[in-house]
Structure 1
């Protein structure tokens, strides 16, 4: 028994050395492996790339076709193009569609202020309303994850959020490391949760949730009671590929779920990345959005 155990141990060591010498990937973690918060963050950063490669990418531009699916009343489908631009703490995500009543969806943070686009008749989309009212996803660099050079986990020393490691959690049938993220400044009613794969430590999911409690109608003679409203913004990442020494997701899904007393709605925006370019030069005006009419 002792000889057999020793042989298994030696075999494992030899495989690891052989894999390393051949440049093969050795799993970064195991499905039940216990890690500390600091270890999880460090391994996540390693999953993106070496420190030199991460530091070299000062700005980033990401683009590709995007598909929008709306399930409000009836199903609606739109094809368009999505572009993500980031520099430092600045971020802009623009989507363009060939639809008169929904030509664009835009959101930006210029390092100081958040701006979002308007629809042709002057109203805001539900996604723009969400991000306009809840500044943390854009302000903290959480939105777009590692696709953005302003990704929050690259700037934790600067942002100083309160992080709480919750351990492994089952989400949609798979085990993921869960971190509760609380911004140092900003809304306290938005619950932000970030998830990482246990074997690769890649960031694969973020959820943002907030609730508006029941209240009376706003009219002077309105005594009708408006029920609770629930809003959930979800980001999913997949199809990871290596570009310029960085491992980035090439599939990015943004989903908004709205449940109110007037009904429910579910909208998806799925970006299939075709091009990633680091260290482009951007005009500062890019990160501010004027009203779209």
Structure 2
């Protein structure tokens, strides 16, 4: 299975070859002045009460609230349906709401998905549904057609079983990608720890919860939550309020009246002292750090604007203190940011960055320094004015979009804001002072009661983090779903690294049989960017051949003839030299684990870890060339079930996770028939073996250069 490195390289190149060519963009710089021109920012004038476009509001007899914003600049109208439902716990069926939202537009009592899609495409419209409603837009002349379709999927969904099964499969595929995404892992674990298992914001959707969802669950979700009494229909565009009301009555007036259930949750409890949570991502070259905790900040509260100014100064862009410190001064990362989110149930604060392994602890130190500095020292007047200018500029630009006016009206109703909340927004922003920022920092910046969540390489990072834990001086390990894990690295092993490799070789068939293998010819099928791809790998007598083909296309080819290497890309051939040639030579070796005991290899047994619910031995391997990998072997069968490698691909370090399964025996040799590769591709790539031949007659021309 040492052909994976070549396959990764071929896949990356194939993606580049198959992707549409992007047009070059030319940037025009502003050359209107010298440094003196920018030396001093002009003093801001007094904030004025702005005039925001008007909205008209109606309430239908069934309780549906209609918000209309006229804009006749272009002949187009959009319709946004939002159901203001309380957040619900989905518990063992987490993922139900998303599945239901996607399912609504796949069929009605009178139309199948193909008919709906064709009708929408025919008029050049767009339409999507989600767990809280949906969105549709079309040209004005197609108003009745799009509203007929939109109201049909909202009021008369048919919940087709086949489409439900497809959506579940797509959802599971997306979850597979998230399992290898350190940012997704950090977000999931941070949310779960901040809000806890008894809060909707603390739930994590995983393969088990999605598998628990059945079609009847989606029907019940729709029946319970899709009620007009809590819904808003926002209509924006080339339409008058009178016509909009008539259309809403015609297409949504028959929606049976009703309201959604009300749920309440206690505010999540924070930690008493700084606690550190760690999630191991073997082989990672970077750590994702997140200093986070829940906050009690509600939309429209008096604190929201000054708190936003405070967070902008701290980490809301290139001018933020975190960015200047960790990026510009220390060069630890490409970017460091913070977020302070308001929410009716519970908001959250986070300060995050992705940093190199060797500076993970240093980056945490600097993040905490910036948090404490903001809390203990007043910001400068210059920082204050820059932050206010940034926010006011973004606010002013947003007014250019008529949808903004509609959203303002929607927020005013949903959150019970004062009628002039947005008209006076800039005035209240301008009134924020240095003292206000200091007050917000003391209230909302709490590093002493934060969780420091780190997703990274345990072997390189974990031991440096206990100094930050003020609860008990110990770092708590978690899996990717925020389940506590025991640190098995300190547990005495009943097996050595060499013995583990021997047991693995025995599980494959034994050294004697493996030594007798002279050739291995494998063909795998997979999907890449919507194309069906066939990968053909042949290893024989120290030679190596790998090719990728699609129907009617020869995409890629790698050949090593025992001395020379060659890469062929869409018919263009080029020699392989240097380190790449050495790597290709390694991949010509059959079952390289046979040689792990020889000079130059370094093996280190790191303990036992959970891999997809199975305990597995973790083995760190350093090859004579210096290449490193981390390999995981099932504790019961000793078969390899996972491997993490860091490879140089086109000048970049690419960390790849390979998972092996569906082992079958071919002529006495046990081979994995399923290989799932995560990392370099946007979504995991599942390779399924079509043919595996051991000691077959290999065509010598495969290795001809």
Counterpart check, 1:167 vs 2:607? yes
Q: Superposition pairs for residues 133-172 of structure 1, below 5 Å? A: 138-141=584-587, 150-156=590-596, 160-172=600-612
Residue 690 of structure 2: aligned partner: 274
Q: Equivalents in 2 of 1:159, 1:57: separation in Å?
A: 23
Q: Superposition pairs for residues 52-71 of structure 1, below 5 Å? A: 52-64=512-524, 66-69=525-528
Q: Superposition pairs for residues 4-23 of structure 1, below 5 Å? A: none
8 Å CA contact 2:493, 2:607 repeated in 1:
no
Counterpart check, 1:78 vs 2:524? no
Shift of 1:137: 5.6
Shift of 1:209: 1.6
Judged with a 3 Å threshold, the aligned counterparts in structure 2 of structure 1 residues 123 and 89 are, in CA distance, closer, same or farther, namely closer
Shift of 1:267: 5.5
Residue 110 of structure 1: aligned partner: 561
Q: Superposition pairs for residues 229-240 of structure 1, below 5 Å? A: 230-240=653-663
Give the TM-score of the pair, scaled to structure 1. 0.60
Q: Equivalents in 2 of 1:108, 1:253: separation in Å?
A: 23
Q: Over residues 167-211 of structure 1, what are the superposed CA-to-partner deviations in whole Å (9 max), with x where a residue is unaligned? A: 2123455432122221212xx4x5322221111111122221258
Q: Equivalents in 1 of 2:614, 2:580: separation in Å?
A: 29
Q: Equivalents in 2 of 1:236, 1:41: separation in Å?
A: 18
Shift of 1:266: 2.4
Residue 178 of structure 1: aligned partner: 618
Q: Equivalents in 2 of 1:123, 1:239: separation in Å?
A: 36
Higher Rg = 2
Shift of 1:113: 4.2
Shift of 1:134: 5.5
Judged with a 3 Å threshold, the aligned counterparts in structure 2 of structure 1 residues 123 and 274 are, in CA distance, closer, same or farther, namely closer
Query: 5+ residue gaps in structure 1?
Result: 1-31, 70-75, 142-147, 213-227, 258-264
Question: How many pairs align?
Answer: 213
Counterpart check, 1:47 vs 2:484? no
Judged with a 3 Å threshold, the aligned counterparts in structure 2 of structure 1 residues 77 and 208 are, in CA distance, closer, same or farther, namely same
8 Å CA contact 1:140, 1:183 repeated in 2:
no
Q: Equivalents in 2 of 1:200, 1:134: separation in Å?
A: 34
CA RMSD of aligned residues (A): 3.6
Judged with a 3 Å threshold, the aligned counterparts in structure 2 of structure 1 residues 133 and 178 are, in CA distance, closer, same or farther, namely same
Q: Over residues 221-280 of structure 1, what are the superposed CA-to-partner deviations in whole Å (9 max), with x where a residue is unaligned? A: xxxxxxx965122322110112211221111233442xxxxxxx5265433223222222
Counterpart check, 1:244 vs 2:684? no
Q: Equivalents in 2 of 1:166, 1:255: separation in Å?
A: 22
8 Å CA contact 2:566, 2:573 repeated in 1:
no
Q: Equivalents in 1 of 2:698, 2:538: separation in Å?
A: 8
SS class of match (1:167): strand
SS class of match (1:57): coil
Higher relative contact order (CA 8 A, sep 6+): 1
Q: Superposition pairs for residues 250-269 of structure 1, below 5 Å? A: 250-257=673-680, 266=682, 268-269=684-685
SS class of match (1:42): helix
SS class of match (2:502): helix
Q: Equivalents in 2 of 1:158, 1:106: separation in Å?
A: 31
Judged with a 3 Å threshold, the aligned counterparts in structure 2 of structure 1 residues 229 and 109 are, in CA distance, closer, same or farther, namely closer
Q: Superposition pairs for residues 221-236 of structure 1, below 5 Å? A: 230-236=653-659
Residue 145 of structure 1: aligned partner: none
Q: Over residues 17-46 of structure 1, what are the superposed CA-to-partner deviations in whole Å (9 max), with x where a residue is unaligned? A: xxxxxxxxxxxxxxx963111110110011
